[in-house]
Amino acid sequence: MYSINPKEFNSVFAVPAAVVDRHIKLAGSAQLKALLWIYRHSCEPIDIEKMSKAIGISAADVKDALQYWLECGLLIEDGKENAAAENAKPEEKTEIKEITPAPAKKEPAQIHESEKNLPDLPVLKPTQEQIAMRVEESEEIRALLNEAQQILGRTIGYSAQAALVMLHDHYALPVSVILMICEYARSTGRQGNINYIQTMGKNWAERGIDTFEKAVEQLAALENTDKLWKEFAAFAGITSPRPTTTQQRYLDTWHNKWKFPLEMICIAYEKAAERTGQLNMNYMNGIIKNWYESGVKTVEDIEKLDKIPKVTKLSDAKTSYDIEQAEKSAFEPPIYTKRGAK
């Protein structure tokens, strides 16, 4: 049996009940240490370096911990007290229902492209109370948040917790699949970008990547695409170490789906650069899609296709691309590079 030592009540400080009622299960040790230190020194300005030494964690971890409490509303930034007071109204309760995925059929893993278009996650996120309720009632959600923190190497704040829970409850993605997305984000240096994880989760749900086997297959394809990007970037003189989501999608289609080797992708880049003077992935896609629909499979096939008079090619709407239209419809922000860099 344990009891409180009454002698210690000679010196006390106040802590909001919400810290225990809402956050005791969700907050990490660093977050709780930081908040308790702040309440103990509530009459002093917050000093990150001083707090770091006092509670024994790095200054970067202190800032990350404080960000959690900012998102929860227990801390507010200087100059935003009035806005916080206006927003301190009872929140509308949004019922968050868990969607149970349909049992996976025991068939070879297959990824079906663009099977469905899913809506974005709701703007109105589950409240801290609702997240705490999901943690209490679901071992899967509890494991998801705990494991995600381990994988991402940091305590995750309210926004990240809400995003992960919604990926599971709204898109019916299994915990194992969401954690694999987190692992991939960490491996590519995007562990701090919850929007990237959220976007990737939606994309996988739309494409039916909803089992462990399908996720493994997709990660292998992504690793192959990342390797291809490095080789392509070296050829084109691009300094960005990683492709954007759109660039990654194009490379995945060209190389993994349509089976075009790097050499032919580079030829498409040169042709697009000759016309536009820049890297334009949408323009390149018009060229490569034309090759795919025309049955082009080798460099020799490209040379044969190029010998066909332009008038003939441009008059055949089924097997050609409209250069002017490709230029007008390009939605990729241009990346200017030095021509001829190989």
pLDDT in tens, 22-33: 777 667 778 788
234 and 295 in a single domain? The answer is yes
82 pLDDT more than 60: no
**Cβ atoms within 10 Å, residue 276:** 16
d(Cα 324, Cα 301) in Å, to the nearest integer? 24
pLDDT in tens, 245-260: 788 889 989 998 999 9
Rounded mean pLDDT, 289-296: 93
In a domain, 8, yes or no: no
Q: Greater confidence, 35 or 64?
A: 35
225 and 187 in a single domain? The answer is no
**Structural domain ending residue among the three candidates 25, 58, 82:** 82
**Structural domain ending residue among the three candidates 46, 66, 82:** 82
Q: What is the pLDDT of residue 310?
A: 52
State residue 253 phi and psi, 5-degree precision. Answer: -65, -50
In a domain, 121, yes or no: no
In a domain, 315, yes or no: yes
Q: What spatial distance separates the first Cα and last Cα of the chain, rounded to whole Å?
A: 74
Q: What is the pLDDT of residue 309?
A: 67
Rounded mean pLDDT, 145-165: 91
Confidence band, pLDDT 50/70/90 cuts, at residue 319: very low
280 and 312 in a single domain? The answer is yes
Share of the chain above pLDDT 70, in %: 77
Confidence band, pLDDT 50/70/90 cuts, at residue 302: very high
307 pLDDT more than 80: yes
Instruction: Return all residues near 265 (Cβ < 8 A) that are at least 6 apart.
Output: 228, 232, 251, 254, 255, 284, 288
**Structural domain ending residue among the three candidates 153, 187, 210:** 210
Q: What is the DSSP letter of 15?
A: -
**What's CA 1's distance to the chain center, in Å?**
47
Q: What is the pLDDT of residue 321?
A: 46
234 and 139 in a single domain? The answer is no
| Cβ proximity of 21 and 133 under 8 Å | no
Closest Cα partner for 210 from 276, 118, 296, 313? 118
CB-facing half-sphere around the CA of 113: CA atoms within 13 A = 6
| Cβ proximity of 203 and 114 under 8 Å | no
206 and 221 in a single domain? The answer is no
d(Cα 151, Cα 141) in Å, to the nearest integer? 15
d(Cα 191, Cα 193) in Å, to the nearest integer? 6
268 pLDDT more than 80: yes
Residues 114, 215, 118, 160, CA torsion sign: negative
315 and 274 in a single domain? The answer is yes
Q: Greater confidence, 11 or 201?
A: 201
Rounded mean pLDDT, 27-53: 86
State residue 150 phi and psi, 5-degree precision. Answer: -65, -45
Q: Which domain holds residue 154?
A: 128-210
220 and 301 in a single domain? The answer is yes
d(Cα 156, Cα 253) in Å, to the nearest integer? 33
The SS3 of residue 161 is helix
Mean pLDDT of the chain: 79
Q: What is the pLDDT of residue 17?
A: 84
| Cβ proximity of 106 and 130 under 8 Å | no
Q: Whose structure tokens read 């044969």?
A: 304
180 pLDDT more than 70: yes
CATH of the domain at 192: 1.10.10
226 and 314 in a single domain? The answer is yes
Q: What is the pLDDT of residue 26?
A: 67
204 and 246 in a single domain? The answer is no
* Count of domains forming the chain: 3
73 pLDDT more than 80: no
pLDDT in tens, 202-260: 989 998 999 999 999 999 988 888 899 999 999 999 888 888 878 888 998 999 899 99
262 and 168 in a single domain? The answer is no
pLDDT in tens, 85-112: 444 444 444 343 443 444 443 333 444 4
In a domain, 114, yes or no: no
| Cβ proximity of 155 and 179 under 8 Å | no
The encoded tokens of residue 202 equal: 């939606």
State residue 45 phi and psi, 5-degree precision. Answer: -65, 145
Confidence band, pLDDT 50/70/90 cuts, at residue 115: low
Q: What is the DSSP letter of 122?
A: P
Q: What is the pLDDT of residue 323?
A: 47
In a domain, 98, yes or no: no
Q: What is the pLDDT of residue 175?
A: 94
d(Cα 143, Cα 122) in Å, to the nearest integer? 23
The SS3 of residue 186 is helix
- Can you list the alpha helix ranges (DSSP code H) found in 154-211? 158-171, 175-187, 194-206
pLDDT in tens, 158-170: 989 999 999 999 9
In a domain, 69, yes or no: yes
266 and 314 in a single domain? The answer is yes
226 and 324 in a single domain? The answer is yes
Confidence band, pLDDT 50/70/90 cuts, at residue 188: confident
In a domain, 334, yes or no: no
